[in-house]
Amino acid sequence: MKLNLPILVIVVLCTFYSAPCDAYPSNGETESESSGEEENSESNVSEILALEGEAINHSDNEYDIVHKVVIEHSIDDDDEAGVEDDEEDDEEDADNDNEDADDDNDNDNKDDDDDIPPYKKYKKWRSWKKAKGLFVIILGGFRWDFLDLHKVVDEKTFGSFEYLKEHGSFIPHVKPVFPPEDYPVWTSIATGLYPKDHDITGDVMYDGVSQNFFKKGDFTKTRVASWWESVNPFWSTAAGAGRKVAVFNWHDCAIPGAMLEKQSDCSPYPSIGPSNNSLLDRYASDSTAPFIPSHTTIAEQADAAFTKIHRNGYDISVIYTDIIRRNAEQYGPASKQVFDALKDVDDILQAKMTDMKAKEANGDLNMNLLVISDYGLSDTKTLQDINIDDYLDEEDYQYVIYTSGYAKIIPYALKHDKILTACMGMEDVDAYITRQVQDPPLWHGVEVPEEFNYGEGRYTQDILLVAKPAFQLISNQSNDKIINVNGYPDDYKSKGAAGRNPYLPEVKLPKVMKKEQPTPAQLQQREDHHDYHQFKYDMQTQAFMMGPDFKKGYELENEIEVVDFYQLICFLLEIDAQEHDGSWERIEDMLTISGSPSISTFTITPFLLMCITSALMQFS
């Protein structure tokens, strides 16, 4: 009798585990996947057939099964046999033609299906309605661990962020693009493309053909149409679809070909200095450090952005603040100044969420809120300096564009090999080429890793240096050909550094046998393993989503990328997304339209094993 209860539990769990569940559709369930027993049966057939070749053309609705007609004929009557053979050939030809036509139809249906936005395949799409506004708050430099790093023990230090977690969806890890700095990341958010596709490959770029520079903060250099030929931002698509859009203090909504019609709707990120007709001087006259916006300034901009939605009926309003990043750069990620900046942002968020709740209670507003970021920063106190001046001869290069994490080198003709050879002496730096630029080829040239999604960009330079974890590139800036991306003067050194590699390859601990001394290579691997785990997430951020389209109290288990935000914004605005590099699968689980998790996503195996183990122990 002791065995009865465990066996009963096992039977029930196994039955429950194997039974189909229609009440809770899976996250990816579509209309075509749950439209009746007949389609389920055909789907099973397709899965079996796919195992044999995985190359069978089919549509989402049905498989075409061609039945071959076997025509019996007499071998004694040659004439009749000949006629029947001809008829059989004609019928086979007709069948083949029908098969070809069916295949063409299948391919056409598949192509049409591929063109359908993924969210329109959900059963809930038919009853889905666009919310009355999308409020996007972008926090510059909001590293993934800042809330935990600055949290006061036994205290709700950042109540607004806790509220967002409790009443919305939380994304613990968001990976930026390379290089993680303003314009490359912002443009990836705005287009859903990697830098290799949108061609904005840095805050400072050089066009070898026109010999012109792109320099962040100088509108006379950034607002040249040729830089933006591959860029079609979401605000341009939304405006073209009749949506009302406002942008405050972010990117440049006045770039050629993507300018918002009303000037009052477009407040781009300010340029540097009054000489460029800036609305805000980013450098104080008595300091080499960038200007840090005040709590009051940010709150006023947030109020203006929110008013655009609830009073003026705008579909989307975007606001950016760099108060966290500026403090992290000047005082360090762990500084009290960053804590104060986080508290300022938390207070402003609380005020806006209070406004949202009041408007929703009155039935005036039902909006979605996105709180996202661009990239994180590393603490330069933990990084060892590598001076690029010690390895490069200024007679070999036209320009060097560098920041803490990387350097782009534009060599003179036939100087590539010499520069690469010199860089091989930099043990803690990886040297890459973006393309083969010499004939004969550079035999020791390593191409930029594919996961960077960078090397094929139009304005990438010939040689790329990337600092390894725990190291950073510096320069004396001994000549005008060495250009710091952030434009810092020679004597200024940031205490928080961005622009570092977000795609660090994993380094595992070496296997050392007992009673054996580790080799020098194994000791180095141990050190690399430590550095990898210390810095692997430094460039990553967090994101919070709240509103009618997001699940409450939901934490996304998987990591997403900044290129995923674009399709999300397009979905919430109900506009067609342009071609992009994002993945719907990475974000769908947090959306209410995707449905509740099905039993298939629930890991029941541990419970089965526990029950089986208990039963066996009692039986023995």
Average the pLDDT over each of 56-60, 155-159, 271-275, 437-441 and give the range with the smallest value: 56-60
Tokens of 205: 């770029």
Task: Say whether domain 383-497 belongs to CATH 3.40.50.300.
Answer: no
Residue 442 near residue 420, CB atoms below 8 Å: yes
pLDDT of 362: 79
Q: What is the pLDDT of residues 441-474, one digit of tens each?
A: 777 788 999 999 999 889 999 999 999 999 999 9
pLDDT of 79: 45
Q: What is the pLDDT of residues 231-254, one digit of tens each?
A: 999 999 999 999 999 999 999 888
pLDDT of 600: 34
Instruction: Kindly report the three-state secondary structure assignment for every residue of 60-89.
Output: CCCCCCCCCCCCCCCCCCHHHHHHHHHHHH
Residue 605 near residue 572, CB atoms below 8 Å: no
Tokens of 357: 């709740």
Is the pLDDT score of 543 beyond 70? yes
Is residue 111 very low, low, confident or very high in pLDDT (cuts 50, 70, 90)? Answer: low
Q: DSSP assignment, residue 412?
A: P
Is the pLDDT score of 274 beyond 50? no
Which spans in 152-240 are helix H? 159-167, 182-191, 195-198, 219-222, 234-240
* Mean pLDDT of the residues in the chain: 80
Nearest to 510 by CA among 541, 532, 480, 536: 532
**Residue percentage of the chain with pLDDT more than 90:** 56
Average the pLDDT over each of 63-72, 312-321, 475-484, 581-590 and give the range with the smallest value: 63-72
Is residue 130 very low, low, confident or very high in pLDDT (cuts 50, 70, 90)? Answer: confident
Q: Tell me the average pLDDT across 352-359.
A: 91
C-alpha span between 181 and 174 (Å, rounded): 14
C-alpha span between 422 and 419 (Å, rounded): 5
Is the pLDDT score of 64 beyond 80? no
C-alpha span between 97 and 252 (Å, rounded): 55
pLDDT of 253: 86
Q: Which residue has the tokens 């994180």?
A: 376
Q: Tell me the average pLDDT across 519-533.
A: 93
C-alpha span between 402 and 399 (Å, rounded): 10
C-alpha span between 162 and 553 (Å, rounded): 10
596 exposure class (CB count in 10 Å sphere: 0-12, 13-18, 19+): middle
pTM of the complete model: 0.78
Instruction: Kindly report the three-state secondary structure assignment for every residue of 104-136.
Output: HHHHHHHHHHHHCCHHHHCHHHHHCCCCCCEEE
Is residue 477 very low, low, confident or very high in pLDDT (cuts 50, 70, 90)? Answer: confident
Q: What is the pLDDT of residues 151-174, one digit of tens each?
A: 987 677 899 999 999 999 999 999
The top-scoring range by mean pLDDT among 95-104, 107-116, 310-319 is 310-319
Q: Which CATH number fits domain 127-191+231-377+541-592: 3.30.230.30, 3.40.630.30, 3.40.720.10, 3.30.1540.20?
A: 3.40.720.10
Average the pLDDT over each of 89-103, 138-152, 454-468 and give the range with the smallest value: 89-103
Tokens of 169: 């969806």
Is the pLDDT score of 121 beyond 80? yes
C-alpha span between 537 and 503 (Å, rounded): 9
Which spans in 362-495 are helix H? 416-423
Average the pLDDT over each of 33-47, 123-137, 191-205 and give the range with the smallest value: 33-47
- How far is the first Cα of the chain from the last one, in angstroms, to the nearest whole number? 13
Q: b/e string for 40-54 if b means 16 or more Cβ within 10 A?
A: eebbeeeeeeeeeee
Give the C-alpha distances (Å, rounded to integers) separating 230 from 182, 238, 239, 245, 513. 17, 17, 18, 21, 54
pLDDT of 117: 83
Amino acid at 552: K
Q: List all residues 6 or more positions away from 240 whose beta carbon is below 8 Å from its beta carbon.
A: none
